Amino acid sequence: MLPVSQLRGASVALISPMTQFGSEIVIDIPAFRRLCATAIDAGCTGLLVGGTTGQSCTLLHDELLTLTQEACTFGRDYAASLGRHINVFAGVAANATHEGLALTRKLFSATDVEALLHVTGYYNNPPQEGLRKHFELMADAAAEFGRGIILYNVPSRTKSNLEARTTIELARHPAILGIKEASGDLAQIRAIAEGTDRKSFAILAGEDDQVVEIMRLGGIGVISASANVWPREFQVMTELATAGLWNAAEELQAALLPCVRAVFAAKNPIPLHYMLDSRLRLPLVELGDLEEPTRARALELIHAAGEILCFPHVGAHFGLSMIETG
């Protein structure tokens, strides 16, 4: 099972690049490989496939399996060629426990993914008792394969908050490695940090503008959407915080705020797909299909972020170049 300490650093919540093929929008494997390579070149410690940013709810299970296999084979081989290891995680978005169990077993059977990121039940908004039983069963299934899961709390998407008391109870399960906390509630995250053991349970930032604050509370890294375009910057920020260089980490966090605003200028991952020249599947739409003033405001924020060429404690911008627009 993956040691909790290996969750340290910045993992990229990868988009699922897509392209037009006839009348269909299909996965763009060459573009996906380029994203993996860019994250690895930047020094990031992990790749997350099929999370919220990866359009999890529009991916067929076989597509998620294919992307996970690509990250495990191409990503690991590329990292090994540089003398490194890269963690690979896959997202499981299932609001039915039996579906989540089936997908968990399928992914662990068919790939070498280290852990799965399991989101709280969406739409049906289960009570805390249901969430606890759901995640315990997912962790039991992971343990069958000698692997683990990471909890994912993102109430803005699911309308289902995994409360601190529930997280603390779940943290006792040996196959529950940690939590990606995207509630934005620092008091809740502080309570989780105080009620869990840092040696056996990791707290990872799920909000790109709160990385340093969450690491001050005991977090050890981030799973970041913005790191698709700014991977080196997010990795360096976690390294500075890990070293206790809090002022430097905060300076870099502040410098990255325009980038985070650009990424979330419209519903994620619409801006990222624009920046990385990738198609999207309905019901998400292209940035150009958004109505005004949302479209104009998003473009303004994206261009402002693209004009930042250097970041404190990092130097010249490392990430992919954003496409130009008229």
163 and 188 Cβ atoms separated by less than 8 Å = yes
The β-bridge partners of 142 are none
Query: Once rounded to an integer, what is the mean pLDDT over residues 304-309?
Result: 95
Fold of 4-243: TIM Barrel (3.20.20)
**106 counts as catalytic:** no
Quote the CA–CA distance of 38 and 82 in Å, as a whole number.
Answer: 12
Give the global pTM.
0.94
**180 counts as catalytic:** yes
Instruction: Indicate which residue of 78, 123, 152, 274 is catalytic.
Output: 152
Q: Which amino acid is at 189?
A: I
Q: How many CB atoms lie within 10 A of CB 107?
A: 24
Tokens of 21: 């093929």
Work out the angle at residue 9's Cα, subtended by the Cα atoms of residues 152 and 144, and round it to the nearest 5 degrees.
Answer: 50
Query: Once rounded to an integer, what is the mean pLDDT over residues 226-232?
Result: 98
Q: What is the pLDDT of residues 241-266, one digit of tens each?
A: 999 999 999 999 999 999 999 999 99
pLDDT at 321 over 60: no
Estimate to the nearest angstrom the gap between the alpha carbon of 154 and the chain centroid. 11
If you write DSSP's letter for every residue of 81-138 in order, what string do you get? HTT---EEEEEE--SSHHHHHHHHHHHHHH---SEEEEEPP-SS---HHHHHHHHHHH
Q: What is the pLDDT of residues 31-45, one digit of tens each?
A: 999 999 999 999 999
Q: What is the pLDDT of residues 141-156, one digit of tens each?
A: 999 999 999 999 999 9
Q: For residue 171, what pLDDT is reported?
A: 98
223 and 48 Cβ atoms separated by less than 8 Å = yes
Instruction: Indicate which residue of 78, 106, 180, 274 is catalytic.
Output: 180
Quote the CA–CA distance of 27 and 17 in Å, as a whole number.
Answer: 6
Number of H helices and E strands in the chain, helices first, is: 13, 12
Q: What is the pLDDT of residues 200-220, one digit of tens each?
A: 999 999 999 999 999 999 999
Domain spans in the chain, listed from the N-terminal domain onward: 4-243
Query: Once rounded to an integer, what is the mean pLDDT over residues 273-299?
Result: 96
